Structure 1
Amino acid sequence: MSGENARAPFAMRTVLVLVILGVVAFLGFVLLAAYADDLQPAQRPGNHALAPSAVGFAGAAELVRRVHGSATMIRREADLGTHDTLVVTLSPGTDPDALKKLLDRRVSQPTILVLPKWLTFPRRDKPGWVTSFGTLPAEMVEKQLTKLTLVKITDNGPGLRTITGGELEPVYADTEDGDSEQIFTDPDGRLLVAWMKKRPLLIVADPDLLDNQGLKTLEGAERAMQILGAFEGRAIAFDLTLHGFGRNPNLLKLAFEAPFLPLTLCLLLAALLAGWHAMLRFGPPLPEARAVAFGKRAIVENGAALLRLARRRHRTGDRYAALIREVAASATGAPASLPPEALDRYLDRLDKDGEPFTALADRAADARDTRTLLDAARALYQWKRTVTREHR
């Protein structure tokens, strides 16, 4: 390749813009991942207390606000232990294990459990509305309660669902005559709402007793308030954790909230500075080296590499001694007509105090390894400097 300076494929401004866009996109992804649950539409269709659809319970929550002044929405699992009456509405896809976990936290607190009934899907033309395509089979509703108790769900003539079970008992109310009578039953006396024995749990078999379509009449609203007020003297709250509205803490949220937000900003600044430092270049880019270099140096380096590869470096001592002989003879004015033996005798007489040249040359020629060769070569080089007066 050519030895010309390589040019950067992208301008610094282009690289900077790409890096900034990448950082902003990554931060946006992290923030959306951290707050995905909180950013979900509050009025999305479903069987929860924020849904305005026919099968939702936003009307029941609004009814509680108008009657009692407020209705609490439980979004965090840590708040499930509230002393308020908690209305837990199930959907067709509610996990029985999740339901059991929730009810175990409220084993001694008043709870109203509303079972699912309708199968629906959202309407695209009208946000918040749903279209029904039938009812959830009673067997599937019974399976959702298997972790709690064994029940039997049936459909009666008017289209309402009733519930029976060995651990259930009717709901009674006092009459004007001072007697007690069963309430929340169908014309045949079957239970629409039942108490769970040995715990403060009220089970509503048919959601139409509380959902939005059940509140379209004054009679339906009065019946709903009677159910919601089953635990007298308690405020009323609605559970949203089973419907994906939870605000449980996670590591991503903690990184963007106090007291960890300053640390996150410091780490982000450090990362940006490290990235900026990596983008900067100290001087122009180095030219790419040639695969085969020019000149005598390349020949010498290639020859040395071959000798090293062949493990024959220690056999080059006689060549180096011959080079020293020629340099010393030329520098000291030795006659050019001298035969080799006479030239060696001449060179031996140049340094009367040191080792003669022929002995040094023999040491270099007879070297058995690289270390011995290097020692002999240093001795020859020092001899050359002495006889040629380079040391002065």
Structure 2
Amino acid sequence: MDDRIFSSRTLLWLVLIGILSFAGAFVASLYQDKIIHLSSIGTNSYSQSAIGHNAFSSLMKKMDYRVRTSRKTWDRAGYADVTLLIEPEDTMGVEAVLEEFYGAGTLVVLPKWHAYPDPENEKWVRSARLKSDGEVENILQIFSDRIELIRGAPEDVLENFTWDKDILTFSQQPWIQAPQLIQGSDDILRPLVYSDKGILLAEFIQPNGLLDGIDKTWILSDPDILSNHGLDNGGNAYLAIGIIDVLTGNGLGGVVIDETSHGYVSEPSLWRRMFEFPFAVVTLLLVATVGLLGWSSISRFGPPQITEKSYQSGKGFLIDNTADLLAFGGHGALMLKHYAERSLQTVALGLHAPKDLEEYELLQWLDRVGQARGSDLISHEIIRNAHSITEAPVFEVMQALKAARDIHRWKQEMLHGTG
């Protein structure tokens, strides 16, 4: 009777589905950033709203910059890469980048807007208002308390800038409405793009900076230069790409957009990963496999059980079957004789008995050892009793069993003591 739970065809399908599912989960893990789309209306690189920066991220990728969005606090830029902190919502991420050397440079874009979603379209902004001066100054305080925030009126437009042509070159003027600028002394800020109203882009002069041109820290005061609505202006796009081009060394380094300050933190966690796509597919397969194994172990699953098995497994069955065969063949006396001889050899070897002794001398030597060990069994009586049973005209099974038990007890006491 075939006692397999699954047929060959069913088993083949299960294996094939498992392989395809695992391969699909593996491929999905490689492209999960393209499969998982994070949506937002805020001031981050996922946002497609007017004040978001998704267009800037896409523009850099289309211009063949190596762009990576980071959601891990420990995931920093390489030595040739640039870190972008665009409108950070807190100071922790900015401090972490500035305290240690991470990459060729850092661009910190100051925050400017609060957004309110459109109830009819989750990707649009219904309205936006300027952040308070204090919220922006909290970020500036990380650099120096001597950097001043300068803000224009909501109806003001600023489009007349001067820039450091030794560092930046572009042919069109940036354009900003309700401009947000900064001002600071020459020992704190090096103006790169500025006007008579204030500084739009500056290099922060670090007190204990490294070599000139390495680990640059630039501050862009107004994020509208990089925002989705701001990039409609050619001058803003020229400035944005010009900044990235200089910081990356004409594209030699990569760009890391830090999104941890916007709440998109994804720290490594095995349990969280198990229930996130695409790893949830593997978890589902594991649960299904355990379920099938549990189902297969339930009684009455599969073919009917055989009440009497023709064979069994285990040492007990093997010993009983061997004993039955020897008894059936009339070899009980031979078994007892061999068992007595082997037990005598085992005890002699275990006690390091002299090798040149005859059997009667060995038994006398063992008697003395057994007496010293406190055993009440006499060696020559145990062995000779077994020999007398094997040489008797009629083999008595019960006497043979008793003799075998005595030999076993004697061997144990001689080798391991009477305890």
Greater Rg over alpha carbons, structure: 1
Taking structure 2 as the reference length, the TM-score comes to: 0.47
TM-score when normalising by structure 1? 0.50
